[in-house]
């Protein structure tokens, strides 16, 4: 199909929006390793997992054979408020780079949460409501997940308790206010409201918290209150299942215009957008139907895929969550205080980890200032100010487009623009002022953290 | 057409996007009064106006007979990056309100500038570039216009100098950083870089500035630098011309589904979104083809339409801009420091003023806390956190929908959601904390300011 016929933005019609989520595990011959109960170190059972998660979500978490799950009508109707999300042809970026490559991006930032997180937030809130719960608890680092969950809970009239990493709580007061506007109760973590919070505050007076610690607090809060369950915005297989709508829509939009993607690029923190985005493409690869180059992009400051170990590890600081086999830097690894809070996690989704381990996916690590340079270039021509996390994917998309310029190839590069940077202007200010640094952990640091992996 | 067939979001296809702007003055028998040269108090000529504005824009400003202007190809291509903007059927809000009314909103916040301002920013930057200028100067209050202009100038590689009202500069550092990310030079106003800025700083030491003062500085900066012209984001007829794309798209989307609007509602500061939004509908009324209820919504703290006088007045504090006949509170009127900076202007577009004067439009003034209540209700169900300015329209749309609930009528209520509130969380914080106040100027205050209107 001639290039001219492809619009700037490919919108699917409502009736073209997927009616089912896709579970890529069903097509994997070698499945991700099972989650382990931290108390018994044995594969966790549905009953055990249902103490932490809603039963329906626990089922989704453990099901690695069902390929498609119907999207409940209520969730689908909610999706209609902001989906289908556009697939944008980055004509302006292509022109700026003078590249023969064709660049596309799936824009997931067009909702108040500002990111793709809402796709799973509404699903998790829905199942909680359906189970008759009073509310849910969660943690948030950068704030995108907390914002999305607050919004979903507000819509369903469900109580929402968010443990926000203390440094974010203080540095991002406006994120906090968005959550409050949606009626959520936001507590800086570590707090004095949980046992583990009090313990950490005692051990490390003045600590500004971490994601792993906030997870522990949120899980404790969920399990100690009647009618509450814990929900999580990334890492889990249920989250990737919900986020598969990103990839399914992208594939449908490309198919609509007869475009065959050569590369699928996503940023990787816990793996939520990346896993959902690549799922249908990885599925085709697993079924031998097509071939794609899948690229995970992580920050050089927190390089779990490129420098971590594939092993069982804890997901949280308090070691009360199930263990999972994943690429990890060790749950004791403290990433530097980069401006991509959403990518500061020591581990990685088991699905993404296994796809990477099987060689179906590549991984690259990129430095912070180079990421912001890419973000600025993109913003100035494409008119969207991207989140720092999303900009990791932009950086590699630009790198690949520049390679095409050298070789003269017109490859189709598709990446996921997970969100907007409206709440990240402090980071942009550092970049604008030329005082942004890069941080790459030393081998010693990583070895030290990896030495403490549990012996499973 | 049955309700069920109307999707949540009506997207026009690219080829359905308007190719021309509509100039409603062409259909007005009684035209808005001419602009006056502040030096001669005579109708300003094209040559005189071209010293301040680009010639092409000055022509558009003075032309009240040409009904349609072709949108230049370059501008149209830029529009394609973020337009057509969706017309959303507010099913969730309708359900929340349990109203038989059908509520639609045109969402103009889906671009990095976060508002509709970009529609005119790109047009004004384009004509400046085409005329071979080096750059443009402007002022910004709330920051939406400055952001939009920075983005447009960055895209066209044009220098951009923004005088930002000092209190906004300090209270909204992140808005400033967005502009800087797009390469603009942002100066707090009053500054020491212009004669009028120095004079104001001397007269009122420690002042945090005003929009009227920043306008004067920007005009002085434009006329004192070779290769620069001044641009403005509202009030002017040229701006309403560019913003007519909002109304034209809205009309096309409604027509596509056979929906006849009963009410068209927009917030009113200088009149940029309102004027552009209502233009095609007012045109039909002027030509006797249809009838609509057009409603302007202004803050009770700055009620130019509902409590001002229809008279010639200055547009800026320095009295160096052309005078226009408009509804005004007097250029000496200082609105209270409300959280809707974009609506804090003493005057009103001449077109909006004249339509209102002829009885084609109603006006309502609403109080701040009621506006934020409406904003919160909207956000929680519709998933978009609206700008305080835009929320004025939401407030009246909800009021009208509640009237329909009483009468049982299924009226079609259409309003313009001009932008998002991502940079207004300080205001939301005040609301969330229950410490937001309302301010209604006394009759004495208004009389005092009106007493100083120029004698024309």
Question: Å from B130 to nearest chain A CA?
Answer: 18
Tell me how far apart the alpha carbons of residues A320 and A162 are, in angstroms, rounded to a whole number: 18
Check residue A201 and report its DSSP letter: H
Determine whether the interchain pair A428/B173 forms a contact, defined as Cβ–Cβ distance below 8 Å: no
Residue B128 has pLDDT above 60, yes or no: yes
Residue with token string 């060689």: A359
- pLDDT band of B141, cuts 50, 70, 90: confident
DSSP code per residue over B246-309: HHHHHHHHHHHTTPPPSEEEEE-SSSHHHHHHHHHHHHHHHTTS---EEEEEEETTS-HHHHSE
Contacts of B394 in chain A (CB under 8 A): none
Residue B1 has pLDDT above 50, yes or no: no
Please state which of the four CATH numbers 3.10.250.10, 3.40.50.1100, 3.30.300.30, 3.40.640.10 is assigned to the domain occupying A3-15+84-114+237-450.
3.40.50.1100
Contacts of A81 in chain B (CB under 8 A): 8, 88, 92, 382-383
pLDDT in tens, A16-41: 999 999 999 999 999 999 999 999 99
Which residue among B114, B174, B428 places its CB closest to the CB of A177? B428
Tell me how far apart the alpha carbons of residues A187 and B368 are, in angstroms, rounded to a whole number: 28
> Minimal CA–CA distance to A162: which of A134, A185, A190, A195?
A185
The overall average pLDDT reported for chain A is 94
- pLDDT band of B238, cuts 50, 70, 90: very high
Tell me how far apart the alpha carbons of residues B305 and B310 are, in angstroms, rounded to a whole number: 8
> Minimal CA–CA distance to A365: which of A387, A386, A335, A385?
A335
| Site from B88, B383, B391 to mutate, A interface, most A CB atoms within 10 angstroms | B383
Determine whether the interchain pair B380/A426 forms a contact, defined as Cβ–Cβ distance below 8 Å: no
Q: Are A211 and A340 in contact (CB under 8 A)?
A: no
Q: What is the pLDDT of residue B212?
A: 83
Contacts of A112 in chain B (CB under 8 A): 379, 383-385, 420
Radius of gyration of chain B (CA): 20
Helices (H) and strands (E) in chain B, counts: 18, 15
Query: Chain B: residue nearest A12 by CA?
Result: B11
Task: State the count of interchain CB pairs (< 8 A) between A and B.
Answer: 121
Which residue among B111, B181, B382 places its CB closest to the CB of A81? B382
Check residue A420 and report its DSSP letter: B
Q: What value of ipTM does the predicted structure carry?
A: 0.91
Query: Chain A: residue nearest B112 by CA?
Result: A384
pLDDT in tens, B152-204: 999 999 999 999 999 888 888 899 999 999 999 999 999 999 999 999 999 98
Q: What is the pLDDT of residue A232?
A: 95
- The contact set of A with B (CB < 8 A) is 7-9, 11, 13-14, 80-82, 88, 92, 110-114, 118, 151, 154-155, 173-174, 177-178, 180-183, 376, 379-385, 420, 422-423, 425-426, 428-429, 431-432
Which residue among B81, B381, B428 places its CB closest to the CB of A383? B81
Q: What is the pLDDT of residue A318?
A: 82
Q: Are B168 and B143 in contact (CB under 8 A)?
A: yes
Distance in Å from the first CA to the final CA of chain B: 53
Determine whether the interchain pair B383/A428 forms a contact, defined as Cβ–Cβ distance below 8 Å: no
Q: What is the pLDDT of residue A2?
A: 47
CATH topology of domain A25-70+116-230: Rossmann fold (3.40.50)
Contacts of B110 in chain A (CB under 8 A): 110
pLDDT in tens, B343-376: 989 999 999 999 999 999 999 999 999 999 999 9
Q: Are B344 and B329 in contact (CB under 8 A)?
A: no
pLDDT in tens, A35-61: 999 999 999 999 999 999 999 999 999
pLDDT in tens, B199-223: 999 998 988 888 888 999 999 999 9
Determine whether the interchain pair A379/B426 forms a contact, defined as Cβ–Cβ distance below 8 Å: no
> Minimal CA–CA distance to B32: which of B397, B348, B409?
B348
Instruction: Decide which of B387 and A207 is more confident.
Output: B387
Tell me how far apart the alpha carbons of residues B118 and B111 are, in angstroms, rounded to a whole number: 8
Residue A223 has pLDDT above 90, yes or no: yes
Tell me how far apart the alpha carbons of residues B150 and A385 are, in angstroms, rounded to a whole number: 12
Query: Coil, strand, or helix at residue A229?
Result: strand
Check residue B25 and report its DSSP letter: G
Determine whether the interchain pair A385/B112 forms a contact, defined as Cβ–Cβ distance below 8 Å: yes
Helical pair B55-62 and B237-256, crossing angle rounded to 10 deg: 70
Burial class of B434 by CB neighbour count within 10 A (0 to 12, 13 to 18, 19+): exposed
- Decide whether A3-15+84-114+237-450 matches A25-70+116-230 in CATH topology: yes
Tell me how far apart the alpha carbons of residues B105 and A107 are, in angstroms, rounded to a whole number: 21
| Site from B174, B378, B431, B435 to mutate, A interface, most A CB atoms within 10 angstroms | B174
pLDDT in tens, A344-362: 899 999 999 999 999 999 9
Question: Å from A22 to nearest chain B CA?
Answer: 24
Which residue among A181, A183, A379 places its CB closest to the CB of B385? A181
Q: What is the pLDDT of residue B23?
A: 98
C-alpha distance from residue A219 to each of A136, A315, A349, A448, B53 (Å):
10, 12, 18, 27, 61
Tell me how far apart the alpha carbons of residues A253 and A27 are, in angstroms, rounded to a whole number: 22
Determine whether the interchain pair A82/B174 forms a contact, defined as Cβ–Cβ distance below 8 Å: no
Residue B272 has pLDDT above 90, yes or no: yes
Which residue among A81, A183, A422 places its CB closest to the CB of B92? A81
Contacts of B174 in chain A (CB under 8 A): 422, 425-426, 429
- pLDDT band of B2, cuts 50, 70, 90: very low
Determine whether the interchain pair B379/A181 forms a contact, defined as Cβ–Cβ distance below 8 Å: yes
Domain residue spans of chain B: 3-15+84-114+237-450, 25-70+116-230
Determine whether the interchain pair A422/B422 forms a contact, defined as Cβ–Cβ distance below 8 Å: yes
Question: Å from B71 to nearest chain A CA?
Answer: 18
pLDDT in tens, B372-418: 999 999 999 998 999 999 999 999 999 999 999 999 999 999 999 99
DSSP code per residue over B31-78: PPPPPB-TTT-SBPPHHHHTTTS-HHHHHHHH--S--EEEPPHHHHHH
β-strand pairing of B9-10 with B87-89:
antiparallel
Which residue among A118, A423, A428 places its CB closest to the CB of B181? A428
Determine whether the interchain pair B111/A384 forms a contact, defined as Cβ–Cβ distance below 8 Å: yes
Q: Are A86 and B81 in contact (CB under 8 A)?
A: no
Q: Are A156 and A173 in contact (CB under 8 A)?
A: no
pLDDT in tens, A147-180: 999 999 999 999 999 999 998 888 888 999 999 9
Determine whether the interchain pair B92/A178 forms a contact, defined as Cβ–Cβ distance below 8 Å: no
| Site from B181, B376, B377, B426 to mutate, A interface, most A CB atoms within 10 angstroms | B181
Tell me how far apart the alpha carbons of residues B76 and B122 are, in angstroms, rounded to a whole number: 10
- pLDDT band of A111, cuts 50, 70, 90: confident
Question: Å from A327 to nearest chain B CA?
Answer: 35
pLDDT in tens, B41-67: 999 999 999 999 999 999 999 999 999
β-strand pairing of B309-313 with B324-328:
antiparallel
Contacts of B383 in chain A (CB under 8 A): 81-82, 111-113, 118, 151, 155
């Amino acid at each position: 199909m001639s290039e001219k016929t492809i619009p700037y933005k490919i919108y699917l019609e409502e009736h073209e929006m997927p009616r089912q989520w896709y579970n890529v595990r069903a097509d994997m011959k070698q499945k991700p390793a099972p989650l382990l109960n931290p108390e018994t170190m044995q594969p966790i059972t549905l009953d055990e997992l249902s103490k932490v998660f809603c039963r329906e979500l626990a089922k989704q978490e453990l099901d690695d054979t069902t390929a498609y799950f119907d999207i409940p009508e209520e969730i689908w109707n909610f999706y209609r408020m902001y989906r289908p999300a556009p697939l944008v042809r980055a004509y302006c970026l292509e022109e700026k780079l003078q590249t023969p490559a064709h660049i596309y991006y799936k824009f997931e930032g067009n909702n108040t949460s500002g990111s793709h997180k809402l796709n799973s937030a509404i699903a998790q809130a829905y199942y909680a409501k359906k189970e008759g719960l009073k509310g849910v608890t969660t943690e948030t680092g950068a704030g995108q997940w907390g914002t999305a969950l607050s919004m979903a809970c507000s819509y369903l009239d469900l109580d929402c308790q968010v443990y926000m990493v203390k440094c974010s709580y203080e540095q991002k007061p406006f994120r906090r206010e968005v959550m409050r506007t949606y009626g959520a109760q936001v507590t800086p973590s570590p707090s004095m409201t949980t046992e583990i919070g009090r313990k950490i505050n005692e051990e490390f007076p003045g600590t500004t918290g971490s994601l792993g610690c906030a997870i522990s607090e949120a899980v404790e809060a969920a399990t100690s209150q009647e009618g509450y369950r814990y929900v999580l915005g990334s890492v889990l297989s249920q989250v990737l299942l919900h986020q598969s709508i990103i990839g399914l829509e992208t594939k449908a939009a490309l198919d609509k215009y007869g475009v065959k993607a050569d590369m699928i690029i996503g940023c990787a923190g816990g793996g939520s957008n990346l896993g959902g985005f690549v799922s249908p493409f990885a599925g085709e690869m697993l079924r031998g139907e097509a071939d794609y180059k899948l690229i995970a992009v992580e920050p050089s400051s927190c390089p779990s895929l490129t420098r971590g170990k594939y092993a069982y590890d804890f997901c949280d600081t308090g070691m009360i969550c199930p263990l999972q086999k994943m690429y990890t830097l060790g749950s004791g690894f403290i990433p530097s205080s980069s401006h991509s809070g959403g990518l500061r996690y020591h581990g990685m989704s088991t699905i993404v980890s296994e796809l990477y381990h099987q060689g179906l996916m590549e991984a690259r690590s990129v430095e912070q200032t180079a990421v912001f340079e890419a973000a600025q270039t993109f913003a100035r021509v494409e008119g969207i100010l991207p989140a720092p996390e999303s900009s990791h994917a932009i950086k590699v998309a630009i790198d690949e487009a520049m390679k095409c310029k050298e070789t003269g190839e017109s490859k189709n590069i598709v990446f996921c623009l997970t969100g907007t940077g409206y709440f990240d202007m402090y980071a942009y200010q550092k970049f604008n002022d030329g005082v942004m640094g890069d941080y790459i952990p030393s081998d010693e640091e990583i070895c030290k953290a990896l030495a403490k992996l549990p012996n499973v």
